[in-house]
């Protein structure tokens, strides 16, 4: 995991509360529905974070399904665990998606929502997914499209660079580092996947509280640590400026937030 992906301290709580309902929940419901269509019995989620997809998966999967949720950030998993009762068939385990601690062919479905962008070696993640999947098993993952289609990134970078023109924190670039489709498809083929389908998923979300969303972008991501390391500007000042810029371009009451993700579905050859 790169330093850009360190979710520590209070970051997971802000991430889950302020960002989850706006930019993650709808995509999570979609990918969970797609996974459940094939009625898998052994399901692995990598980069599960605060359990946003995990919760949707458990609700969508049949009662016979065993679900394992992993993440390299244990503070994120602690938030995820709080969403489940003891009797639900969910196992939480810290794990690196590029070196999975599971036997070959242990799963018939592997899911990763908005995690690949943070893996230092994407090809390793695909190879590990193929190794841990049974023949014919399904691999579904999503990444963000470029900032052109995701103005919360573009406008966030604009505001950050206004305050730090010489050395702007770079976290808001990291989640958008996998916007090119062809290299990912080639990497999947090299890792042993077939029947690859790609869908571009556009959405527009009504945001009732732009300030809370801006707070999530600042306090709910490693951007907060990068700001604290540089000093000189209060994080709250960044939040205020970002909320103002977001509503200036996207409106308010409610703010209309466009988003675009890319979903990959493949089968283990």
3-state secondary structure at position 151: helix
Please report which residue ranges of 6-150 form alpha helices under DSSP H.
Answer: 11-14, 25-36, 52-60, 74-81, 122-132
d(CA 192, CA 63): 30
pLDDT band at 1 (very low <50, low <70, confident <90, very high): very low
Contact 69, 43 (CB under 8 A): no
User: What are 143's two structure tokens?
Assistant: 């990444």
Per-residue pLDDT reduced to its tens digit, 49-88 = 999 999 999 999 999 999 999 999 999 999 999 999 988 9
Q: What is the pLDDT of residues 243-256, one digit of tens each?
A: 999 999 999 999 99
* Confidence (pLDDT) at 2: 43
Higher pLDDT, 188 or 223: 188
Closest CA to 183 of 110, 123, 120: 123
CA 73 to chain centre: 13
pLDDT surpasses 60 at 90: yes
Under a CB-based contact definition with an 8 Å cutoff, are residues 84 and 56 in contact? no
Residue 3 pLDDT more than 80? no
Per-residue tokens: 81: 């665990």
Residues 6+ apart with CB under 8 A from 8: 73, 75, 225
Q: Is pLDDT above 60 for 5? A: no
3-state secondary structure of 213: helix
Asked if residue 261 has pLDDT above 50, the reply is yes
Q: What is the pTM of this model?
A: 0.94
130 pLDDT above the threshold of 60: yes
Whether residue 189 is predicted with pLDDT greater than 60 in this model: the reply is: yes
């Amino acid at each position: 995991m790169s330093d850009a992906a360190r979710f520590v301290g209070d970051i997971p709580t802000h991430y889950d509360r302020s960002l989850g309902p706006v930019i993650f929940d709808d995509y999570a419901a979609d990918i969970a529905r797609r996974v459940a269509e094939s009625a898998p019995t052994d399901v692995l989620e990598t980069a599960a974070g605060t359990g946003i997809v995990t919760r949707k998966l458990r609700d969508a999967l049949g009662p016979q399904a065993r679900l394992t949720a992993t993440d390299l950030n244990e503070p994120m998993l602690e938030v995820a665990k709080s969403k489940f009762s003891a009797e639900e068939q969910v196992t939480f385990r810290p794990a690196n998606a590029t070196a999975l601690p599971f036997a070959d062919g242990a799963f018939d479905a592997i899911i990763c929502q908005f995690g690949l962008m943070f893996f230092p070696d994407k090809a390793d993640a695909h190879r590990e997914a193929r190794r841990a999947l049974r023949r014919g098993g399904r691999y579904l993952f999503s990444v963000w499209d470029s900032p052109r289609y995701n103005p919360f990134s573009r406008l966030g970078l604009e505001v950050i660079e206004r305050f730090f023109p010489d050395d702007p924190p770079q976290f808001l670039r990291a989640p958008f580092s996998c916007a090119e489709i062809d290299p990912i498809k080639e990497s999947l083929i090299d890792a042993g996947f077939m029947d690859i389908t790609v869908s571009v998923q556009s959405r527009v979300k009504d945001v009732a509280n732009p300030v809370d969303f801006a707070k999530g972008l600042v306090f709910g991501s490693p951007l907060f640590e990068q700001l604290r390391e540089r000093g000189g500007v209060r994080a709250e000042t960044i939040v205020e400026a970002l909320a103002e810029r977001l509503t200036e371009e996207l409106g308010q009451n409610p703010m209309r937030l466009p988003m675009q993700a890319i979903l990959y579905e493949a089968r283990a050859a």
